[in-house]
Amino acid sequence: MHILHTARFFKSANSMRDLPPDTGAEVAFAGRSNAGKSSALNALASHKGLARVSKTPGRTQLINIFSLDDDHRLVDLPGYGYAKVPVAIRDHWRGLVDTYMRNRESLKAVVLIIDSRHPLKEYDRQMLAYAASIDLPCHCVLTKSDKLSRSEASRTLAHTRAELGADDGPDARVSVQLFSATAKTGLDEARAVILRWLGITPA
């Protein structure tokens, strides 16, 4: 087994003061509300019920923290670009995520969940630009790749990598991969990136 399977829900946060102590290391998951973020988290942790999966996009409305152990965490950020909520609440989410990403010392990197059928929408580009502006590495996971033919998936991967100037090296600031929670493809590749950022040596 892999250490990500030890992930357990720890708490939800609606403000910075709700977060656990800013120690250790954590990796955040971000993405459009309908890109498959919860399904990806569940697949990576081999835990179907870890993150709530809903047919109604935009259900992740708080920062949800999942602990691996006392020093390592996965963080599910509110989905962006879809949720039908009052403007004041969306502005609160935006401000909370901005403050979290800019000031959280234990945050090491972001996994950006992107629907491979509709890559690099405007919100995705904004998140990538923001992560780059605060020097935060970003790994783009192109979900639902099972919905594409093999040639379509290969073209999408190559085009996205080229557009972002992505690299697969251990020091890459932006990297990209194909992924499918349904077909269980790309799991080991994504887990390896996450564990490296968390400073965990695979068993």
Q: Is residue 203 part of a domain?
A: no
Question: What pLDDT shows up at residue 105?
Answer: 97
Mean pLDDT over all residues of the chain?
89
CA terminus-to-terminus distance, the chain: 8
Residue 177 has pLDDT above 60, yes or no: yes
- C-alpha 39/C-alpha 143 separation (Å) is 9
Structural domain including 23 reads: 3-198
Q: Is residue 152 part of a domain?
A: yes
Locate all alpha helices (DSSP H) within the chain, ordered by sequence.
Answer: 37-44, 87-103, 122-133, 150-164, 187-198
pTM: 0.91
Q: Is residue 113 part of a domain?
A: yes
Q: Please tell me the total count of domains within the chain.
A: 1
Q: Is residue 162 part of a domain?
A: yes
- C-alpha 24/C-alpha 88 separation (Å) is 32
CATH number for the domain that contains residue 178: 3.40.50.300
Question: What pLDDT shows up at residue 92?
Answer: 75
Contacts of 162 (CB under 8 A, 6+ apart): none
Q: Is residue 61 part of a domain?
A: yes
Residue 53 has pLDDT above 60, yes or no: no
> Please, which pLDDT band fits residue 130 given cuts at 50, 70 and 90?
very high
> Please, which pLDDT band fits residue 201 given cuts at 50, 70 and 90?
confident
